[in-house]
Every structure is written in C-alpha cells, then in structure tokens.
Structure 1
Amino acid sequence: MPLSPAPVNKVDVLIIGAGPAGLMAANALVHAGVTVRIVDKKVVPVTVGHADGIHPRTIEILQSYGLGERLQREGTRFDRAAFYNPSPNGGIKRTQRTEAIFAPTARYPFLVTRHQGGIEALFRDSMASKDVFVQRPVVATSIELSDSRSDLESPDAYPVKITLKHLDSEDGDEEVVHAKFAIGSDAGAHSWTRKALNIGVEGDQTTSIWGVVDIVPDTDFPDIRNWTFIHSNQGTLMNIPREGDLIRFYIQLSSDTDFVNRETGRVDLTKASPDRIMEAAAKIMQPYRVVRVGNVEWWTVYIIGQRVAQTFSVKDRVFIAGDACHTHSPKAGQGMNASMCDTHNLAWKLSYVLRGWASMSLLKTYESERLKYAQDLINFDKKWSKMFSDKPQSEDNLEGVSHEEFLGMLASQSGFLSGIGIRYEPSTVVNNKHQACASKLIVGERMTPRDFVYAANVNPVNLHDVLPSDMRFKILVFAGDIKVEASMKRLHALGENMGTSNSFLWRFGQGAYEKVFDMLCICATKKDDMDFTDVPKFFRSHWSKVLLDDTDMYGRSGGGAYEAYGISREEGAIVVVRPDGYVGVVAPFDHVDDINQYFASFMLEAPEA
C-alpha cells in the first residue's frame, strides 16, 4: 500500500529548540495571543547543570513577565565576590572582597544562580497556564522558504515550510508545518536551523580547556559561599554558590591533558571524569582543603570557542537566537542571559507584525540590535577568557595578570556584565533627537527603575512593576509640579494635542489605544499638595496611572527621580518605553510631532471600519 502523505498543519510561529531562548520567545508570544508551537529533540527537559547564572538585567526582565519572585525564591542570591592570588609562601591568599557586580541602577544589584532546568521550568509552567506545551522528542528534518515576494511581504502568508519528525512514534511519523515565522534556538554551536539555512559563523576555537563540576563540598575555604576568582600557580578556578549547599567550580585544565582528541579537536569525555577535575581543583585551592560530599550532580569538560553568526535572520522570516547565533565561554555568565535577551527583543516585534500593528521592516531591528550586541560580547569574552587563562602575576612572572588588571576589567565592564548598560544604537525604534530633555535617561538603554508613590493612596511602587512585558508601549508623561499654574497649563495643552486625530495614540492605537499604549502621568508635586483627581482626565484612565515623585508616608522610599532622570521639574518630558523595557524616544511637551513621526516610521494605522 502507498504511504499516507504527511499531515499538514499551520502555525503563526514555529520554534525549534526548547532551551532558555526558545522558551522565552514561546512564553512571550503565547501570552500575547500568538499561535505558537515549540519542539525539542530531547525526550525529557534539562533537570540539572548547564547554564546557571542570572544577572541583574535578566532578573528585571523575568520580573516583568511575573517570573522574578519565583526565580529568587528557588535560586541562590549572592552579593559578594572574593579574589585570591598566589601567596609568597606557596598556595593562595585572599587579596580583596568586593560587591559581586557593580550595577548602581539595577533594581536587583546582585546575581542569582539557578540551574538551567529550573529556569526553563519557569517558562514551561507559565505557558502551561495557556495550554501550550513543548512537543518532544521532535526534530526538524527540512526547511524551505518561499521565493515569492508577495508571500514574504505579507504577514498573513505562510512562507516557511518545515518537516518535523516525531521520534516517539514507531515509524518516526512526519508532519509538514507551514509557518508565518520560525525561530531556531536549537543545539547551540551545532544548531540544525543555522546549518540548514547555510548561515556561516565567524570566530575560532581556543586551546583553553575547562572543567565544570557541581558538588556539595567539604572544605575549610572561607569564601565557598561567595563568587570567588582564584588565580594560582597551579591554574585558575572560579567558584559559584548554588542552590542549597551546592557549589560549582569552573577549573582551568592543563592543555597537555589527554581530554582532547587530537584528530577531531573535540573533548573526549570518556577520558575525563569529575574525580580528575576535583584533583585539579584541590591543587589550585591549596592550602585550603576541598573534597566532595556524596555524588557529583553534574559535570563536563569543554574547549572555549568564540563565534558569532554572520546573520541572525533569513528574509526576516526565519530567525536564529541564543547559542545558535553566538557561542562564548560561560565564565562571565552571559550565555543564558544573552540567549533570553535575544528573544525578549524579538518577541514583541513579531507580535506587532503578526497583529498587523507594525510593518515587516520592524523585524530588521532584531538583527541590527542583537548582532551588534553579540559581536561586542565576543570581543569582551576574548579579553575576559584570556585574563582567566593567563598565568597570574608573581615574583617569578612579573608579566602575568595582576589583581588590579583583573579587578579593573570587572569594574570597567560592569554595565555589560550585568546587562544594565546595554545600549541599542539609533534606528527606527531608537531616536535620541531630544536626549537633552531627559539627559540622564539614556535613549536606547533600558528604563531605569525608581521608587514612586501612587498619588491616590501614597503606596510605594517601583516603576518597573507598572511597566510589565505586556506588549504595550508605555507613555510616561513627566508633568512637573502641577500645583504650579504654568505646569498645569502645559499639561492641559499636551492633552489637547495628544487627543487630536493626528496624534500617535489615535493613528496607531488600533481603534482603542489602550491595546497598544499604556499611559502614566508622573508628577513632581508633593503628596499632601494634590489629589490624583487634579490630573486632567485624559491622563488618568485609572487611579493607578498617576504617580508622584515623592517619598512614601514613612520616608523610606521614593523621591528624586526627576533629578536622577535629568528631567526638569519645570518643563517636564515625555518618555516612550518600548515593550521590551528600553527607552525608544524622549521629547519635550511641544515636540509631540516627533513622537508621532517615531511611531509612523514602523507602525501601521488601523484600517477604517
């Protein structure tokens, strides 16, 4: 009998790979109402090991999706770093303790560790509330992209054809999926999607070999629960505190070990073992003692490779994200963070195009923003990895890496490491023409958090908690002190201007602008000098939309935001925050036309009924 044809299905977005990048995208899109399928070749999800460090900006992002509190509850927070160098008497000695990461504007100025499986579970559980689940074990076997210009330019077309093979069926049943868009976030450096699309990578592999082991230690090392950097004459080690009593060691292994197959250049795990890794750790940490208690939870050996894909998209229909488009060493904890931030950037743009709210050109900003970031990440990682791998400075090696150099690298790159200093260059979605009206609130960087109070009840609230990742642009109207007649007059005039049919709110608001824009009014008036009802009705669709830059009733939080943002209390400013939390444009009250033009550069007007 002839074989039955493979079933054919359609979907808005097909995601290949259910790691952190794929799950971030799936969760964001699912909650935006997009039809999503996500597949993975693994029979079961990751449960231990792999990536584990979450930096301050990523914690903010997870919090914006309602996942941050669980992360902090299940993970391990650490605030302090310790540094060890060779001791003149042999072994190592502590040279300094500092804050773990220098992130002065971070809402969460610390790091949290949680194994990759725990991070992935946050997203899977959130998606489950919408009855969306990872389909496994499923692999993609072919991908085709239409050459039809009309198909590629229409967001309603399904130009991506992917054949899926279901590995859990006896015959390996195949299925054909037609998708409007696809995301490849699979298998990291060996991404099937990237290879199937013939996307090249630039970069190379180093000769630096590292071992990683997750254990419960028995040790007299005093900084075992701190983020610790050890440079010794026996090698380099980084210690990461983990959940419960677990710790993770990253350990530099000698390049003359037999862990590497000289013919393939790849690690031969059959010749490695956690015992050999621990032997290296014990030598590096002398005179301190360290042995493991019980079994090893997870371990691996790897060679550092630093590569970035030449492009992150094909015809703006198939995108790659995470390790599929950039690989680097894990010691700065950027891998999982960078991967999730990739698709956090992409998800809102896909959602806007699929809803018919934005033109296809918006999708080009994914590559322009994230490819530059990835290139900067690789350049940073090359310096960082070399500093880790090089011998430390000592009496016998004066040219080695000094403690001051290492600490200086951490300090100078803190904005990059923490994620809070990442800046997107000017583009259709980043316009810094009026930067001066909010001089300390950098257009292209994420909106910095501050504590405010609600005008209605003086309860404190962090600004980030009223800027959730709900796919809406946030329009923040810094009104100044509305008890000053000139400020109130200016606010009324702004309301009249924004209320016209030519305003972006109505041109791009899809018939009910609250679907696309969320507007808040932030006054510099003292809490006892006004009622929230004093604000013009246009700027207070709900009592919670009026905030004050003042302290709470107990003087414990709030106040000083206008100064921190570089906004005049007399002139005020309009701040537009993108759905991913980055400042897109700022403007004075009398330049609403520039905000109109900002949105007109990528948004589509709603069709007339």
Structure 2
Amino acid sequence: MPASLVRESEVDVLVIGAGPAGLMCANGLAKAGVNVRIIDQRPSKVAAGQADGIQPRTIEVLQSYGLAERLLREGNQMHMAAFYNPSPKGGIMRTGRAPDITAPTARYPFEVTLHQGAIEAIFLDSLSSMGVSVERPIIPTAVELDQNPIVLKDPQSHPIKIVLQHLDASEGQSETEIVYAKYLVGADGAHSWVRKSFGISMDGEQTDYIWGVVDMVPSTDMPDIRNKCAIHSDNGSCMVIPREGDKIRLYIQLTDADVLDPHTRRVDKARVTPQRLLDVAKKSFRPFRIETDGEIDWWTLYIIGQRVASKFSVHERVFIAGDACHTHSPKAGQGMNASMNDAHNLIWKLTHVLRGWADMSLLKTYEFERRKYAQDLIAFDKSFSALFSGKPRTDDNQEGVSHEEFVEAFQTFGAFTSGIGIHYAPSLVVNTTHQSAARNLVIGQRMLPHVFVRAADARPVELHDLLPADARFKLLVFTGAPSAAQLARVHSLAEDMARPEGALRVHAHAMDVLAISAGTKDDVDYTDIPEVFRSHWSKVLVDDSDMFGRTGGGGYEAYGIDARGALVVVRPDGYVAMVAPFEHHRDIDRYFESFMRAL
C-alpha cells in the first residue's frame, strides 16, 4: 500500500487492551478530559466467565467514579464463608462459618460477584456516554520510543510511534494506522505484547497446582451453596463462589492424572470436559449432591503462575498494568481487583502531568507503589494457594492443613484480600512526618469512610461521597472544638494558608477543600467557618449524629484527631497523602512544591 494511504493520528494516551485494567484506565482518563483511545484485538466484548469477584476496596473505588450503584444492583453479595473438612464418617462436614471478609472499616463489608462481561459493560456504557468506544479488532504490530532525552522530558511531546493493524478495515480503507502518542498503557494481559516489545521480563515461577473452573446453576442439597465455601476433602479441594442470580462458580482441584498427557507430561485440555470437572467436584462434595439442571455456562483450566514484571514503566512514557505486570491464582479474587487498582493509581498521575499540574517525576511513583503491592500480592498468594491446595489434616495425615490453621490464615489475610489494607510507602506523594496528628488515619492507606452531618441542613453524608475521583486533591480541615479560642486558631490558620504563595492559592485548581467541625448540628453554623475553608455550603460538616440519632458521630475519635484539629491531605485516588497539625501547615506547601507546578 502506498505510504500516502497509511493513516496517521495523534493521541495523548493510547490504551492497549479492553479488559478490566484497560477499561478502568480509559474511563478514568476520559472522565478527566484526557484525549484517550482504547483498542482491543477481540472482535467483541467478553460474554461470560473470566474474573468475577469485586473486593470491598474496589467497590469504594468504583463508587468514587460513580460506577458502584449498578455493580451493587446487578451483582451478588457475599457476606459469609463456610468451611468443610473430612468427616469421621466419610465425606465432608461443615466445621465452621465466618465473615467472608475481615475488614471492619470497609464501607461495603462484602464481596460482589458478577461475571467479567457484565463488569466490563459498566465501563463500556460509561465510556460511551463520554463519546469513547473500544476500537476493535485492532492489533499493534510495531512500536518505537524516541530515546532523545529532550523529547522524553517534554511531557507534551509524542515520543511513541505505534503501528496498528485494523483487522476488519472496510474496502478502500487503510488497514494500517500510525499513531503518535504521548503515553502508552499496555493493559493487554498475561501475554502482553507491550511488555514483550520493551523486553520487560516476568519474574517468578509456576506451581504444580492445576485447577478447573465451572460456572453453572446448581441442583444441590448442600446448605451453604449461597455462601463462599472452602472445601477440603480427601478427594481434593474445592471452592464455591455464589454468583449473580442462581449461578455459582466451582474451583476444582485436579490431579495430574486428570489433565496431563501421560507421554508429554503437559496439560492437555482435550482430556478434560466440563462434565469431567463436575464429576471430580461430586467426589469432593460427598455426602452432598451437586448437579446442574442446565448447560455449563463457562469453564476453563489453569495452572497457578505467580510472577511480577521486572519493571512497570519505560521512561515514564510506557506503562503496563493488570495481568501484563502480575499474574497469580484467582481463588483469592485479586486479579481483576489488582488490575483495576493499578489503573486507578495511574489515572490521576497521568492526568496531572498532561494538564501541566505536576512534574513528570510524579509518574515514577506508579511503579514504586504498584510493583511493591504486586510483590506483596504474590507472597500472599503463595501462602494462600499452598494452604488451599494442601491436603487436609486427618488422623492418617497429621502433616496436612488443619481447619484452625486455614481459618486463621483466611481471617489474617482479610485486610489484604479486601484491598482495605493496601499501604503505600513514603515517597514524593506520601509524607508520614506528622502521623500523630491523626493517629488512626494511616498515611499511605485509603481514607477511612465515615458518616458526618452537613452543618447547613443536618443531612447525613458519607465522607467518601465527597471525595470523588475527579483528579483533585482534597484538603480536609478538621477545625476542632467550636469554642471561641479554637475558632480564633482556625481563622488565624485560614489567613496564613490563604496567602498568595501558599498551596491553597497556587494549586487551587487541583484542590477541593472540606471543613469538619467537632461541634454539633445545634451549635455550628456553616458560616462560622472561614470562607477559604468552605468551597461550598455542602462541604462544611459536623461530627454529630443525624436528627434521629441513627447514624453519624464519633468521627474525630475514629480518626484519632483531638479537639485542637488537624489538616488531612487526601490524594485524588482516595489515599491519605499527609496530615499536619495547624502549627505545621506550611509542610503542606512544601509537599505540593515537591512535585506540583505553578500554573
């Protein structure tokens, strides 16, 4: 084809891969007004199966983008877990029940299960409402990154040249397109073309555990079929995940004899059928019956591989996210959650740099934060997978995994599996200097949810609802007790923070301000708060219960803030960036000066 017929275009961010990580990334960037394109090689979206579990922290994240309501409406909620172990009489017996999630501070203290296609549809519809659609089927065939340091250091340059092939180009239309991008995000799965193109290795190993997965509507007499079930039987392990409607998912541990070709010792999927998987599950369920009245909705096999990419970015221009940079077993329900939270971490950082709000150094914190998390995830996954895949302890096998050991691990890991315990280490965007000013708001962890009451109209509000993922930092001014002396301190603080060279003025475009008083709805007027601390009448809150005492109150105590007040900076992704007592408020100026640019 003549070069003149090859299409050429420019874009701020090109996202390759329209799975959960790519869709989250494209949606967040589009919502922030970034010029973004997303491509995928699949001709159509996922119809069934794949990942299906959304953890409590991820629900909070989706809520911050305005997407949680539909998820909660369409999905199944998992509140309780049941544990089954070998019975002295043969077969299995229930040995206990426990909360599915051990995350007492979670706003949504449960998991939501819904098949990946329905989860992706939430993003696809959101993107469509902003005029963005997944372009498919398209594959990338070549990529070049300009190595000129001057070009790379210019955040508005287009150093990435990528060649795309449109697989279903109409007659007369060029199949080939050359795209010049400022930034590239590879969210293209475990076999990532982007990762391979830049020679990024995946470090780790493959385990010997082989599992089958079946989605179906069960016919059973097992009483816990609508709870998460961890089944350890003498015939192997099995996990039950209740799903939307009447569906369930079964994770079924397989033996080498079930799946390996006896000559090559490789997994031979042709040796396995969904009915064969169900037959294996039936042995683990005895004495309970498990059948399906209808068709198997979806099924697959997998061998657990636990790997982390050696790096997550190239010159802060090319990034990888999701399965492209970490793979692990699906039984703890982390894959899709980790993937979407990679994107959530990257979205605001790219937005700030593209808008000229922040220096490109901010982009280095993506790999620093998310690679450490991925490594922690692999360490957790190895422990959990070994426990789950291990033989149960019995009179004949004292070396096996005991019920108590498994439940303790299940609950200990709760903060991790729920996503609530994700903790980013000190960096350019995490400053732990004044942690004591808000003892229970752990700097580097997500802002704790809490119900406060609006001073103007006594309406109870969940603080998380006032911290949307809109690419802006939130400054929470805990103004303390409503005494005359304390109010004088607040007004003095406001006067100094409002000076022209202060962060509150210099970065006003990138910051929203809320005030939270320790007073009651009866004794605080929203107009008592200095204007610089009340960006809107709805953003002055009191730490009190609602008019009928049903919700709210106790926020200062929950956050570990005393009556003298404190300043809390929350990042655009909802994580606590720093806290400071009034006397050290200028440390906030220095925090922003370290990576933000004055417009």
**Aligned match of 1:449:** 449
Matching residue of 1:487: 486
Identify which of 540, 543, 546 aligns with 1:552.
Answer: 546
The corresponding residue for 2:208 is 207
**In the alignment, what sits opposite 1:229?**
230
How far does residue 264 in structure 1 lie from its aligned partner after superposition? 8.2
Partners of 1:457 and 1:195 in 2: how far apart? 56
Structure 1 residues 209-256: Cα deviation after superposition (integer angstroms, max 9, x where no partner): 100000001000000000000000000000000010000000001122
Are 1:471 and 2:471 an aligned pair? yes
Q: Distance in 1 between matches of 2:278 and 2:375?
A: 34
Deviation at 1:268, TM superposition (A): 2.8
Q: Aligned ranges for residues 384-423 of structure 1 at < 5 Å?
A: 384-423=384-423
Alpha-carbon distance, 1:481 to partner: 1.6
Contact 2:56 2:111 in 1 (8 A): yes
**Could you tell me which of 584, 590, 598 is aligned with 1:591?**
584
Paired residue for 1:44?
A: 44
Q: Which residue of 2 aligns with 1:142?
A: 142
Contact 2:455 2:521 in 1 (8 A): yes
- For the residues of structure 1 that align with 2:540 and 2:335, how far apart are their CA atoms? 39
Q: Cα gap change, 1:526/1:256 in structure 2, threshold over 3 Å: closer, same or farther?
A: same
Instruction: Report if the CA contact (8 A) 1:261-1:268 is conserved.
Output: no
Query: Are the counterparts in 1 of residues 261 and 268 from structure 2 also a CA contact under 8 Å?
Result: yes
| Unaligned runs of at least 5 residues, structure 2 | none
Post-superposition shift, 1:195?
Answer: 0.6
Q: CA deviation at 1:2?
A: 4.5
Contact 1:477 1:522 (8 Å CA) reproduced = yes
Q: Match of 1:174?
A: 176
- 3-state SS, counterpart of residue 497 of structure 1: helix
Q: Percent identity?
A: 58
Amino acid at match of 1:497: D
The 3 A distance-change label for structure 1 pair 331 and 278 is: same
Contact 1:76 1:242 in 2 (8 A): yes
State how far apart, in whole Å, the 2-side matches of 1:550 and 1:183 are.
44
Helix, strand or coil for the counterpart of 2:514? strand
Residue 242 of structure 1 is matched in structure 2 by 243
* Cα distance in 2 for residues equivalent to 1:565 and 1:2: 65
CA contact (8 A) 1:429 1:584 kept: yes
Shift in Å, 1:502: 2.0
Matched residue, 1:100 = 100
Tell me the CA shift for residue 189 of structure 1. 1.8
- Tell me the distance in 1 between the aligned counterparts of 2:265 and 2:99: 42
1:244 is paired with a residue of what secondary structure?
coil
State the shift of 1:533 in Å: 1.5
C-alpha deviation, 1:372, in angstroms: 0.2
Q: Is the 8 A contact 1:203 1:307 kept in 2?
A: yes
CA distance in 1, matches of 2:73, 2:46: 20
The answer on whether the counterparts of 2:499 and 2:505 sit within 8 Å (CA) in structure 1 is yes
Structure 1 residues 463 and 412, CA gap change in structure 2 (3 angstroms)? same
Mapping 1:243-262, distance limit 5 Å = 243-259=244-260
Deviations 1:40-87 (A, max 9, x none): 000000011000000000000001110111000000001000000000
Residue by residue over 1:146-203, the C-alpha shift from the partner in whole angstroms, topping out at 9 and shown as x without a partner, is: 01111100011000111000001268701000000000000x2211111111100110
Q: Does 1:603 align with 2:596?
A: yes
Amino acid at match of 1:163: V
What letter matches 2:584 in structure 1? H
Secondary structure of 1:353's match? helix
8 Å contact from structure 1 (residues 49, 214) kept in 2: yes
Query: Could you list the per-position Cα deviations for residues 430-476 of structure 1 after superposition, in whole angstroms to 9, with x for gaps in the alignment?
Result: 00000000011100000000000100111110000010111110000
Write out per-residue CA displacement over residues 268-315 of structure 1, whole angstroms, 9 at most, x where no aligned residue: 322211001000100000000011111011000111111110000001
Distance in 2 (CA, whole Å) between partners of 1:2 and 1:256 is 56
Give runs of aligned pairs for residues 453-602 of structure 1, distance below 5 A: 453-482=453-482, 484-507=483-506, 509=507, 513=508, 515-569=509-563, 571-602=564-595
TM superposition shift of 1:572: 0.4
- Relative to structure 1, is the Cα distance of residues 491 and 158 closer, same or farther in structure 2, using a 3 angstrom cutoff? same
SS at the partner of 1:294? coil
Is contact 1:224-1:241 (8 Å) kept? yes
8 Å CA contact 2:85, 2:94 repeated in 1: yes
- Shift, 1:540, TM fit: 1.8
Contact 1:11/1:178 (<8 A) preserved = yes
Backbone CA RMSD of aligned residues: 1.2
Alignment of 1:123 onto 2:116: no
**One-letter amino acid matched to 2:581:** P
Structure 1 portions without partners, runs of 5+: none
Contact kept, 8 Å, 2:259 with 2:269, in 1: the verdict is no
Shift of residue 541, structure 1, vs aligned partner: 2.6
Counterpart of 2:350 in structure 1 is 350
Deviation at 1:260, TM superposition (A): 5.5
Match of 1:328 in 2: 328
> Runs (4+) of structure 1 moved beyond 3 Å?
1-5, 258-265
The C-alpha deviation readout for 1:346-385, integer Å capped at 9, x for no partner, is 0000000000000000000000000000000001111111
Question: Could you tell me which residue of structure 1 aligns to residue 33 of structure 2?
Answer: 33
SS at match of 2:291: strand
What amino acid maps onto 1:491 in structure 2? Answer: V
**CA displacement at 1:323 relative to structure 2:** 0.2
Superposition map of 1:353-364 within 5 A: 353-364=353-364
Q: Contact between 2:137 and 2:167, CA under 8 Å: does it hold in 1? A: yes
C-alpha displacement at 1:530, in angstroms? 2.0
Counterpart residue number, 2:62: 62
CA contact (8 A) 1:41 1:137 kept: yes
Distance in 1 (CA, whole Å) between partners of 2:213 and 2:33 is 40
Q: Is the 8 A contact 2:52 2:115 kept in 1?
A: yes
- Contact 1:259–1:272 (Cα < 8 Å) also in 2: no
Could you say what secondary structure the match of 2:103 adopts?
Answer: coil
2:200 aligned partner, one-letter code: I
Partner SS state of residue 563, structure 1: helix
> Shift of residue 506 of structure 1?
1.9
Cα shift at 1:334: 0.1
What amino acid sits opposite 1:169 in the alignment?
A
In structure 2, the CA distance between the partners of 1:263 and 1:177, relative to structure 1 (3 Å rule), is farther
Compute the TM-score of the two structures, normalised by the length of structure 2: 0.98
SS in 2 for 1:426: coil
CA distance in structure 2 between the partners assigned to 1:23 and 1:541 by the alignment: 32
Partner secondary structure for residue 504 of structure 2? helix
Structure 1 pair 17–107 and aligned structure 2 pair: CA distance change class (3 A): same
SS in 1 for 2:48: coil
2-structure distance, mates of 1:260, 1:453: 64
Deviations, residues 328-349 of structure 1 (Å, cap 9, x unaligned): 0000000000000001000000
Shift of 1:3: 5.8
Retained in 2: the 8 A contact 1:10–1:179? yes
TM-score (norm 1): 0.97
**How far is 1:592 from its partner?**
1.4
Matched length: 597
CA gap of 1:173–1:289, structure 2 versus 1, over 3 A, is: same
Q: In 2, Cα distance between the equivalents of 1:452 and 1:348?
A: 26
Rounded to whole Å, the distance in 1 between the matches of 2:228 and 2:558 is: 30
Query: Is the CA contact 1:443–1:585 (under 8 Å) kept in the aligned structure 2?
Result: yes
Residue of structure 2 in register with 1:296 after alignment = 296
Hey, what's the Cα distance between the residues in 2 that align with 1:490 and 1:44?
Answer: 60
Q: Which amino acid aligns with 1:552?
A: D
| Residues in 2 aligned to 1:330 and 1:243: alpha-carbon distance in whole angstroms | 18
Q: Which amino acid aligns with 2:324?
A: A
Q: Secondary structure at the match of 1:453?
A: strand
